[in-house]
Amino acid sequence: MSQQAPAGAGEGLPELALRRYLIRFDTRDLPLRWADVLVIGSGVAGLRAALEAAERGTVIIATKAGAEESNTRYAQGGIAAAIDASIDSWEKHAKDTIEVGGGLCGEDVVKTVCREGADDVRELIRWGAAFDRRADGELNFAQEGGHSVPRILHATGDATGLEVERVLLAKARANPRIRFLEHAFCLDLLTADGECQGALVWDHSQGLQVVVARATVLASGGAGRVYRETTNPAVATGDGLAAAFRAGAVLEDMEFIQFHPTTLYVAGAARALISEALRGEGARLLDRKGVRFMKDAHELAELAPRDVVARAIVKRMRETDDTQVYLDMTHLPAEAIRARFPGIDRLCRSYGLDLTRDKIPVRPSAHYTIGGVAVDMNGATTLPRLFAAGECSCTTLHGANRLGSNSLLEGLVFGRRAGAAASALAASTVGTVARLSIENRYDATNRTEIDIEDATSALRALMWREAAIERDGAGLARALERIRFWSSYVLPSVFAGPRGWELQNLLTVAWLVASRALVREESRGAHMRLDHPERDDRRFRVHSKVKAALEGERVLRLEAVA
């Protein structure tokens, strides 16, 4: 794969003034916590990293809400692993991953995750994960879009993430070397002497406090809440992505956002994910006239890769002048469907819908942040002493389009690898980290009256309209102009709580997504440009990397990285 920067990558990049909250501190002025390794986030990647790091030292897990609240908890689709040697192999899994990834998968990363991931899943089973089994007691593997053989494990049909979270969280809580700091919002990463030294966090009971660590693992999840329509929980506001960017770490492939094709579309309902495992069991997609349209869109029909299905749905909604399409399971055995997907069955029934009798209204929603903080094979970022794993990172496993059910697997593999590398670095560090000195960059009187909820809603609607499944240059330019204007008064403002800080982070992430989408003048994987509908390998078969350039130690701007 070409390693050259795409044409125009450093030309005409939009700029946006950002500020860090507190770059340096006098630790005498704030409550201080200490650990060998700080893990930010309590999803699959964060918990697995903490468990691995605790083998060698002390760990603090700082999490924005309760420890059980993360994107992992809501993952229905399953976890892919090449365990059944009679039909599968890690080589087959790697081949499927690369084929879906649109030419941008890091092949060494793919091979490593597919090879090591099977053992990591076996370990999870040894720890007590109860994945679904057949009547004969053997693991029950399902097949989903993009996978050539059945290799997807589920728990209780549609509660896989919840089961993974349960097992890892119980093991972490039982480990005496791991402490939890719950309901602790990470405002910024601490840096001194060009290295990450921990984080500045805030909670309701103690306010601002400093967590100092010899190594930090960022596992804060994605940024789906930057869009109006999303499957992500309220915590997914890109806080870790924005903090890493402000601290100077390189971010990669931020234009690639995966949209899940089928989320429940009922007035007043949260955009709950309707797992593609239903399509794996034989569910069909129909338009308002009852026409099954996916057979004409792709040879795999409903089992086509997610980006193909999502775009086909948007196209059919436009052609039929409708706001949704319909998922039809009425031809499948009713009791088997209810037993296989009890959570989805309960969800639909709460809105007066019966999976076995009614056609379920669905449409795409933002689901997974493919890009993120650039990392190496051990989860190390470009900022010394900072590691990243899970959805906030970009390992290049997914390329331009994630193969379904690979995200939990990636979290296990890279969580373990990042935790091991972070703890090894911490153990090799002599003495304490660099002394932190005082410097408060914010004028506490700089307060602007801002309706946070209104501004957040406006941003999410803008991103859904101009930078979602289908994009074009004019729309992205309009989005960037609006984001710059809102940011001119929101980013310099001082807020007293998480909702304001989330708005600042969402603006930062939106700017990164839209600016990189504007530069990538092609269509590839999850990135669809209506004004550049063809894939352009000559110019754009390359990863998109950016970092923040500090100007006058106060203002940050976007800078392309070759």
Residues labelled catalytic: 306
Q: Please enumerate in sequence order all residues whose Cβ is within 8 A of that of 110, keeping only pairs 6 or more positions apart, or say none.
A: 94, 97, 98, 101, 397
Distance CA 59, CA 51 (A): 9
Task: Return the axis-axis angle of helices 498-519 and 452-466, rounded to nearest 10°.
Answer: 20
Q: Are 219 and 46 in contact (CB under 8 A)?
A: yes
Distance CA 171, CA 177 (A): 11
Give the residues across from 264 on adjacent strands: 362
- 329 to 159, 277, 335, 341, 361: CA distances (angstroms): 19, 12, 12, 12, 12
Starting at the edge strand found earlier in the chain, the sheet holding 393-394 runs 393-394, 372-374, 251-252, 545-551, 555-561
The C-alpha torsion from 69 through 140 and 279 to 268, rounded to 10°, is -30
Q: Are 39 and 51 in contact (CB under 8 A)?
A: no
Residue 202 CB coordination number (10 Å): 18
Task: Return the axis-axis angle of helices 239-247 and 498-519, rounded to nearest 10°.
Answer: 70
Q: Are 176 and 8 in contact (CB under 8 A)?
A: no
DSSP code for 436: P
Residue 220 CB coordination number (10 Å): 36
Distance CA 68, CA 89 (A): 33
